[in-house]
Amino acid sequence: MAIAPVNKFISLAVPVAPGMQELYEVPTGTSALLLYAQVAHVGAGNTYPTVTFIQRRESRSTGNTRDIKVIEDVEIPPNDAVIIVDGRMVLEKTPLVLDKIFIKGTQQNVGIITNVAYHEPSGIATVTTAAAHKLSAGDPICMSGISFSCTGSTGITTTIFPDPQQSFVVDSITEGATVGTSKTFTAEVGVSKGYPHVYQPAIHYFERCKPNAVEVMVSSTVTVGTKYLPSNASYNPTSGEMTITLPSMNLQNNDKVKLADNSFIFTCSMDNRATEHSYPRSTDPASGQNLNVARVNATTIRVNVGQSMNGGFVAPLEMEFVGSILENSTT
């Protein structure tokens, strides 16, 4: 006897944080209809943030993705909203394809987080930003892409905070307590008794390299001008060291290499790996520089490309997303 498909309605209501954030992924054994979606301007100021809404379709055999921009950089005036979907958008998960939806918010006064000291018994987080954050006590805010290590965290499925996305309220500002100059604030983010969290700079995940990414500039054992295509790389933001896997080579300690601009492609925890980023950028310390080589073995070297303590975003709460989804079981 056939089992009738089971329908389930889902409501999504989340703040739109800076950068790209994943809103929904079709679960296994279902198809879905996005029935309604809108973004409202909920900020107090006379600002004009913009929003982009994306359907991402991934080939499950190759991993290749295609982004379909339903709307792009649509401006939302104060006390207004933009309706993205009012009808239906079909989302699928089949043996061939997987659909996800993303939203990207762009606004003013976005701060880069460089440290978070979390007091798990009280739920108070003390947040430090790279530049003055311009926030005041009582301001609603959103934060995103903050990485933690958690000891004794059995059962915790992610170390990227917050998950799911949510908004917070500034409790106090410190470091002089002057609005416009302070780089530190506190906010209550929720208690996690027994699970200490230690802030980690953004995690970088190697995706691929472009040809000729590494060029030999000074060496007594390898011809100057030799270029390599790395097969892997890892970056330690605390030390600034990048470990690079090359084809079999004979580079030695204190040889010098140069990394071609935008030749190393990474994804990053600051946007939950939603977008790819190329390094070194023209503004990075390693751009155009001859870097000293530390030989690890016949296929691996280390170079110092510069430290980065960046690890998340904070901004005034300006936009909120609301959506309705109908899931239909296909099993």
- The enclosing domain of 69 has a CATH number of 2.60.120
- Full domain range(s) for residue 220: 204-304
For residues 66 and 132, state if they share a domain.
no
**Residues recorded for the chain:** 331
Cα separation of 310 and 73, whole Å? 26
- Kindly state whether residue 2 falls inside one of the protein's structural domains: no
The reply to whether 310 falls in a domain is: no
Closest residue by Cα to residue 184 from 232, 120, 113: 113
Tell me how far apart the alpha carbons of residues 123 and 188 are, in angstroms, rounded to a whole number: 6
Q: Parallel, antiparallel, or unpaired for β 50-59 and 65-75?
A: antiparallel
Domain-located, residue 240 = yes
For residue 285, what are its two tokens? 């310390």
133 shares its domain with 146: yes
Is the same domain home to 324 and 291? no
The reported pLDDT for the residue numbered 136 is 92
What percent of the chain is predicted at pLDDT more than 90? 77
With respect to residue 313, please indicate whether it lies within any of the assigned structural domains: no
Asked whether residue 1 is domain-assigned, the answer is no
187: which residues sit within 8 A by CB, 6+ positions away? 124, 125, 127, 141, 168, 169, 170, 171
Task: Annotate 254-291 with DSSP letters as a single string.
Answer: T-EEEEPTT-EEEEEGGGTT-SEEEES-TTSTTTT--E
Q: Which of 12, 107, 101 is nearest to 54 (CA)?
A: 101
pLDDT tens, residue order, the chain (331 aa):
455 556 899 999 999 998 899 999 999 888 899 999 999 999 988 999 999 999 999 999 998 999 999 999 999 999 999 999 999 999 999 999 999 999 999 998 999 999 999 998 899 999 999 999 989 999 999 999 999 888 765 555 567 888 889 999 999 998 666 777 899 999 999 988 778 889 999 999 999 999 999 999 999 999 999 999 999 999 999 999 999 999 999 999 999 999 999 999 999 988 888 889 999 999 999 999 999 999 999 999 999 999 999 999 999 999 999 999 999 887 7
Residues 167 and 93 in one domain: no
Tokens of 132: 């003055």
Last residue of a domain, one of 148, 172, 202: 202
Count structural domains, the chain: 3
